[in-house]
Structure 1
Amino acid sequence: MTGQEPGTSIQIKSYKHNGQLHRVWKDTTVLKSTSNMIIGANDKTLVTESNGRSWITREPAICFFYTKHWFNIIGMLRQDGIHYYCNISSPFVFEEQAVKYIDYDLDIKVFPDMTYKLLDEDEYAVHKEQMHYPEVLNRILKNNVGYLQYWIRQRKGPFSHEVIDQWYERFLTYRS
């Protein structure tokens, strides 16, 4: 239970397995909040990296965070269609007005035609050794890559463009 009312602003904070802060998104508007998920949206929000570098997102994004899945999904509305960026991550926790999760490096990039590519397997391999990921964690993460690929192929949940469009329309009602 997050207790966040739609329309409120929260932060998103990603960490690495060793507890180090990885990245912070300053302002995300809550669109839906239940005990199992948060759907949020942002546009032109400040993002700060662990090295202090910051940048501003370029397009609207609808973000899906789960308490029962080891991934999160960001649908980015670009001129050529909806692109998705999926982080293999721990389930989120909500504390101190922020969605918090551990980023486990593996990502899936999904293009508007729903083709996709698994990214950062080399980075995952390095961090798995450096941070001593237990084998049970490795299995959970690999299983969730498969689960996420199934969602993509089935156009399940966020991978339905209509779902992204509907949440974006809701986001616009909070921006006026």
Structure 2
Amino acid sequence: MNGDLPGVVAFDRVCLESVKRGDPPGAWRAHRCWPEARWLQGRPPVLWFAPGTPVVEGDGRVWNSPYPVICWLWEDRWFHIMALCREDGTGYYCNVASPPVWYAGRRTLRVIDLELDVRMEPRGEPRVVDREEFEQAVRSGRINREEAAAAERAVSELLGWIQRRVGPFDPKEVARWRQIGEREIRD
């Protein structure tokens, strides 16, 4: 992220926006947007999506998560991690994407989605998904060589974090941020 995050305080509403390069390469297209995220912490950013928070797909479809979601982003990491706080346990959806860029005028954090994802169901094993889409995007030039290398490193780093149960993969860390997010709803 470039610069400070002026004017953002705990529980402010911000937008998390994911974009992809379209055709021709260099053109942008909306991928997914969370327009009503709640800011829990500034550096590194931690966002809260209460149950029912809208998610807007690039084609305009809107859906809502039935459970709370906590999202961690880092200024120096090529991924962000979403902990899906479900009734049957915590699942994870880890998006391999560029580090976020802050657009103060729009109160938006924007990432470039790099196709690869790591998913993990509660009590399940991690799975790398969307490999075919990633490889096609690299072949077509929508993802350049440097981004592709960063994406591969990100997958390795995520799998290491999962194996060691560090950061967002530590159940105590999820419980702490869930408590903060739920307290925000009650207040």
TM-score band by shorter chain is over 0.9
Q: CA deviation at 1:129?
A: 2.2
Do residues 118 (structure 1) and 125 (structure 2) align?
A: no
Q: CA deviation at 1:130?
A: 2.7
Task: Please give the secondary structure, in 2, of the residue aligned with 1:153.
Answer: helix
Q: CA deviation at 1:61?
A: 0.3
Q: Which residue of 2 aligns with 1:8?
A: 12
Task: Please give the secondary structure, in 1, of the residue aligned with 2:117.
Answer: strand
Counterpart of 1:69, as a letter, is R
Q: CA deviation at 1:100?
A: 0.6
Q: CA deviation at 1:105?
A: 0.9
**TM score, norm. by length of structure 2:** 0.88
Task: Please give the secondary structure, in 2, of the residue aligned with 1:20.
Answer: strand
Do residues 21 (structure 1) and 30 (structure 2) align?
A: yes
Kindly provide the CA deviation profile for residues 109-165 of structure 1, in whole angstroms up to 9, marking residues without a partner as x: 022225210000011112222334222221111111101111111111000111111
Q: Which residue of 1 aligns with 2:61?
A: 53
Q: CA deviation at 1:54?
A: 1.2
**TM score, norm. by length of structure 1:** 0.94
Unaligned 5+ runs, structure 1 = none
Task: Please give the secondary structure, in 1, of the residue aligned with 2:110.
Answer: strand
**Pairs within 5 Å for 1:143-162:** 143-162=153-172
Q: CA deviation at 1:58?
A: 1.6
Q: Is the 8 A contact 2:138 2:145 kept in 1?
A: no
Distance (whole Å) between structure 1 residues aligned to residue 157 and residue 67 of structure 2: 27
Distance (whole Å) between structure 1 residues aligned to residue 77 and residue 91 of structure 2: 20
Do residues 74 (structure 1) and 82 (structure 2) align?
A: yes
Where has structure 1 moved over 6 Å in runs of 4 or more? Answer: none
Counterpart of 1:15, as a letter, is V
Q: Percent identity?
A: 25
RMSD: 1.3
Kindly provide the CA deviation profile for residues 32-63 of structure 1, in whole angstroms up to 9, marking residues without a partner as x: 112xx200111211111111111111210000
Q: Which residue of 1 aligns with 2:24?
A: none
Q: CA deviation at 1:101?
A: 0.2
Distance (whole Å) between structure 2 residues aligned to residue 11 and residue 2 of structure 1: 13
Tell me whether 40-49 or 75-84 shows the greater mean CA deviation: 40-49
How many pairs align?
Answer: 174
Of 32, 42, 66, the residue aligned with 2:41 is 32
Unaligned 5+ runs, structure 2 = 22-26
